[in-house]
Amino acid sequence: MIINHPILGPRDAQEFVYLGDASLIQRPDGMTASIEAFHDYTYLRDNSAGPHRELWYHEQGDRSWLVVTRNTLTHEILKVELARDVARAEGRSR
């Protein structure tokens, strides 16, 4: 598999480490959220047959975390973004 890194261009998937669903970006606030909310955040995932947003880490590279949108049926990669940009766009800051 080849991941088109937004900064470094096409890179082999072997350089990356896979984490999982990009919903992990949406971590609840530990000071206000319930155990149930954290349970859902930690354990519940959609198992989509089709486009899937997921986190990849360029460990053998520039250490960027990426959000890769991949079709799980064909492995076609539809979009690759810096996770930091995605996190900011989703309202995360400090």
Partner 1 sequence: MSQTHRIDAKLSAGQVDRSRTLRFHFDGVAYAGHPGDTLASALLANGVRLMGRSFKYHRPRGPISAGSEEPNALVELRSGARQEPNTRATVAELFDGLTAQSQNRWPSLRFDALSINDRLNSFFTAGFYYKTFMWPASFWEKVYEPIIRRAAGLGTLNRQEDPDSYDKGFLHCDVLIIGAGPAGLAAALTAGRSGARVILADEDFRMGGRLNAETFVLGEASGADWAKAAVAELASLPNVRLMARTTVVGTFDHGIYGAVERVSDHLLEPLPGKPRQTFWRIYSKRAILAGGATERPIAFENNDRPGIMLAGALRAYANRWGVAVGRRVAIFTNNDDGLRSAVDLAAKGVDVVAIIDSRADATLLPGIRHLRGAVVTDTAGRLGLSQVTVRHADGRSETIGVEALGVSGGWNPVVNLTSHHRAKPVWREDIAAFVPAGGESGLAPTYVAGAAGGDLSTHGALVTGNEMARRALEDLGFAARPSDLPRAEDAPVVLQPLWHVKGAKRAWIDQQNDVTVKDIKLAHQENFTAVEHLKRYTTLGMATDQGKTSNVLGLAVMAELTGKTIPQTGTTIYRPPYTPVALGALGGRARGRDFKPFRLTPSHKWAAEQGATFVEVGYWMRTQWVPRASETEWRQSVDREVLATRRSVGICDVTTLGKIDIQGTDAGVFLDRVYANTFSTLAVGKCRYGLMLREDGMVFDDGTTARMAPNEYVMTTTTANAVAVFRHLEFCRQCLWPDLDVQLISTTEAWAQFSVAGPNARNLLQKVVDQDISDAAFPYMAAGSITVGGLRARLFRISFSGELAYEIAVPTRYGDAMIRKLMEAGAEFDAVVYGTEALGVMRVEKGHVAGNELNGTSTALNMGLGKMVSRKKDSIGMVLSQREGMSRDDGLRLVGVKPVDPADALKAGSHLLKTGAAATVQNDDGWLTSLVWSPHLGHYIALAYLKNGANRLGETMRAVNLLAGTDVAVEIVSPHFIDPEGERLRG
Which residues are near partner 1 by CB under 8 A?
1-2, 13, 17, 19, 24-25, 27-31, 33-35, 38-39, 41-43, 55, 57, 59, 63-65, 74-77, 82-84, 87-88, 92-94
Question: For residue 24, what are its two tokens?
Answer: 């992990």
Angstrom distance (rounded) from CA 83 to CA 8 = 15
| Distance of closest approach, residue 15 Cβ to partner 1, in angstroms | 13
Helices (H), the chain: 35-43, 83-89
Shorter beta-carbon distance to partner 1: residue 34 or 47: 34
| Distance of closest approach, residue 44 Cβ to partner 1, in angstroms | 13
